Chains A and B, each alone.
Chain A
Amino acid sequence: MEQADKIKKSFIVKGMHCGSCVYTVEKALKGVRGVTEAVTNLTTGKAVVTAFMPINDQILKTAVKNVGYDLINIKDQVSNIKNEEEKKKELDQLKRKVIISLFLGSLIVWGSFPGLSSTAPIILQNFFVQMILATVVQFWSGLDFYKASIPAFKHRLANMDTLVAIGTTMAYGYSVFITFFPNIVQKFGIESFAYFDVSTIIIGLILLGRYLEAKAKVKTSSAIKKLIGLQAKTARIIKGNKEIDIPIEQVQVGDVVRVRPGEKIPVDGIVLSGQSTIDESMVTGESIPVEKYKGDTVIGATMNRTGTFTYKATKVGKDTMLSQIIKLVEEAQGSKAPIQRLADVISSYFVPVVIMLAIATFVGWYIFGPMPSFLHAMLNMVAVLIIACPCAMGLATPTAIMVGTGKGAEHGILVKDAQALELANKINTIIFDKTGTLTKGKPTVTDIALDQRSKIKDQNELLQLAASLEKGSEHSLAEAIVKEAENRKLILNEVKKFKAIAGHGVEGEIKDYKVLLGNRKLMEKEKVDVSQSKGTIEKLEKEGKTVMIMSVNGNLSGFIAVADTVKESAKEAITALRRMNIASYMVTGDNERTAQAIAKQVGITQDHVLAEVLSQDKEKKVEELKRKGQLISFVGDGINDAPALAASDVGIAMGSGTDVAMEAAGVTLINKDLRSVATAIMLSKKTMRTIKLNLFWAFAYNIVLIPIAMMGKINPIFASAAMALSSISVVTNSLLLKKQKI
């Protein structure tokens, strides 16, 4: 029966270089039974095959191969996380092998262990029966060891499978020999005793170790899976008068999306109408829900709480913030920490060296060991081969990096690569950019004061006059005043004869009053007496505020102080760093007085203020401190911070920053929380501690236990248990990082 649904599949075609190749490939594909259409693109090198029934990829591949090209499956580009089903299948098979090998192994142990064997049925004591059971384990359960080591051997390479394969084959081979020719060994004074228990239990335990290790390893990449899982599946878009649900992949830039309470926001965009509270914690790590109004940006995969709103999609697919985060985390997990280099070098020599040591062990025990020397030599050699655990060394760093970067992402801390994560742990000096980093970057009204002689009745009236006057001005201070008036819901008046006096202020007429608003220079020019309020003005200025003076009809009325306010989290952030013995500096283009005032508020000491630094010179300040031997982290945002971010040892960009800043920075804080600077360094310290402990364990294990095994103090079965435990303990230790508080 024919299926009504058509199946579409894309492939990569290799070897195409001209128009005729396209034709040939298409023809070959169309020739396959069931294919209704085949479109090949020379520029992208892709072929899209449409069929009315499922076709085995191999048939298509063969068809293309026959005409001289190669057809390749396109892998999922979004993420390289292992296919869940495939993994489950692999794990299930491994589990089956573990259970069967350990079961058969214990039967053999029962039948052969001195003291225990007398209780076993006679049949289990028979070497031939034991051999049959051991053969199943050796060549079915243990097949992977051979499958991995034989091709490697062909390329003159050896790995841990090689060690297990050699070790178990020796024990198994010797036992088979004993089974068939017991008399021969007896002639040499060796008791004819088979060691099938050794080969089977070793295989069982090592496979058990691998099974547990694989299960634990899955958890190391759980953070990224969680991020991928955040993605919404569908979006409700408005087309004309209709609202339709479409799959998220089909949403395009410019589409208008409606989001209702409790729904997930599908892609990034800008609010067009409506308002709501949005929980962005899953993406940015910011725990407090954010209010969104018209014109605000919303992030895909975050959760709408209360309101209904519509927004225009601005970023879709791989451009959304979530996709960028996933990409960044994946890249970080793929990078290598410098600390790993030594482990890499050692592991490339490790296995051959262990084989040499094992041979030496055999020779040593054969020549100098007690009788029966062959038996001691063989068992001790097997123990040396089995106890060696290069896996723990290989797993020590990457598993911790995976967990560390994933944990960071969960807290809104994106680490660019393993190198940045490693370096951040040594940072002893942090330079904060002032505007936009320590402060909110937007001036706001901080004080409104009336002069004692003023005829104005209250603060609101003063602000109303000031805001009415400033409405026409574009100065950032004016913006702060107008905004404050809006916040207080004041109605602004009409202004006549408005005039802006550059470098001084503004003037105009409101309801027959002549109103002036500006600095002291303006008041002096217009002969307004401010002498009695000098103290108040200076006090405000010392606090780093810009004071605007207002006069009405030539008489002083009051002051409005405007300042760039510090972020709530700033002081706490710097205190936390001080506790970690990290010095905080502040760099700004502001004058010394304003800079000192801000520094005082956030708790940065006087001599750590770098004032009047032009933005292009920030980089030089970083270099200067670096020359003094300090390890510097520069915290900033914005394009003009990029050189300073790049010049510092680990640049930390605040999330609102541009893509350029993110490129130059080693760490990006998408939660915009200054306290995360300390958290990021803490994360680095904890991750490095885990890596060091892992590496220490992995090295110490091998350095201590290999010689002990060479001395003949370790039973091969214990060796396999120790080796399995060793790699599991490294992965488990990395997983513990997840539970640590940062």
Chain B
Amino acid sequence: MGVAAYKNMNIDKLIVLIVGVAGIIFTYWFFLRRKEQAVSAEGEIDIVVDGGYNPETIQVPFGKPTQINFTRKDSSSCLEEVVLGDFKIRKYLPLNETVTVSLTPKKKGTFQFSCGMGMFHGKLIIS
């Protein structure tokens, strides 16, 4: 049956197959093989919330008070809240305004932060 399908395959089907497979590979590479660069926060860091968190991965020194300033420029309701679950912080981010989150990390490790629905993620690396 596989052979029959192959024989029946017209050129357009072949193109769709190739483009489709390429599309799947591209999607995988584009969204899931993304490398994050950690930006280190020295006491204070600005994160722009626009289609995600930028920068997305930040390094925060252990035990030092750090201010993270979130400025939301994205009108989608998905990003209207930021949640730093490990630090028990859930903040509403008004559009185009800066909301400061202050924390003093008392544990080392990597902690995720995300939007209210857990669709967008960022990382705090405490070292």
Contacts and interface: CB of A to CB of B under 8 A. Distances in A.
Interface of A: 12, 14, 72-73, 75, 80-83, 86, 90, 144, 147-161, 210, 214, 330-336, 340, 343-344, 347-349, 351-352, 355-356, 359-360, 362-363, 366-368, 377, 390-391, 393-395, 398, 417-418
B32 interface: yes
A80 B13 contact: no
Given A72-B98, A336-B83, A80 B52 contact: no
B98 A73 contact: yes
Nearest to A143: B75
Interface string B93-127: 01001111000000000001010111111000000
Contacts of B85: 334-336, 340, 418
Contacts of B13: 366-367
Given A73-B98, A334-B83, A360-B24, A150 B118 contact: no
B114 A344 contact: yes
Contacts of B84: 334
Given A356-B27, A359-B24, A344 B52 contact: no
Contacts of B54: 155
Given A73-B97, A214-B77, A360-B24, 13 more contacts: A14-B69, A151-B50, A151-B51, A210-B77, A334-B89, A344-B118, A347-B118, A347-B119, A349-B32, A367-B5, A394-B117, A398-B117, A417-B88
A229 to B, nearest CB: 17
20 contacts: A12-B100, A72-B100, A75-B98, A80-B99, A81-B92, A147-B75, A147-B76, A151-B74, A161-B78, A214-B77, A334-B85, A334-B89, A334-B91, A336-B85, A344-B114, A347-B119, A348-B118, A359-B24, A366-B13, A377-B16
Given A366-B16, A398-B116, A155 B51 contact: yes
Given A75-B99, A86-B94, A335-B88, A393 B118 contact: yes
B49 to A, nearest CB: 10
A363 B17 contact: yes
Contacts of A148: 51, 74-76, 78-79
Given A73-B98, A159-B78, A344 B90 contact: no
A147 B80 CA distance: 14
Nearest to A394: B117
Interface string B1-42: 000010001000100110011011001101110100000000
A355 B27 contact: yes
Interface in B42-72: 44, 50-52, 54, 56, 69
Interface of A (DSSP majority class): helix
B52 A161 contact: no
A80 B27 contact: no
Contacts of B24: 356, 359-360
Contact of B76 (A161, A340, A344, A360): A161
Nearest to A83: B94
A352 B78 contact: no
A394 B83 CA distance: 12
Contacts of B88: 331-332, 334-335, 417
Nearest to B71: A72
Nearest to B118: A394
B29 to A, nearest CB: 9
Nearest to B44: A14
Contacts of A394: 116-119
A571 B80 CA distance: 48
A161 B79 CA distance: 12
A75 B87 CA distance: 19
A90 B97 CA distance: 16
Nearest to A402: B90
A363 B21 contact: yes
A147 B74 contact: yes
B100 to A, nearest CB: 7
A391 B117 contact: yes
A148 B79 CA distance: 9
Contacts of A72: 69, 98, 100
B119 A160 contact: yes
A339 to B, nearest CB: 12
Going nearest first, the 7 A-B pairs with the smallest beta carbon separation are A151-B51, A336-B85, A334-B90, A394-B117, A148-B76, A363-B20, A152-B51
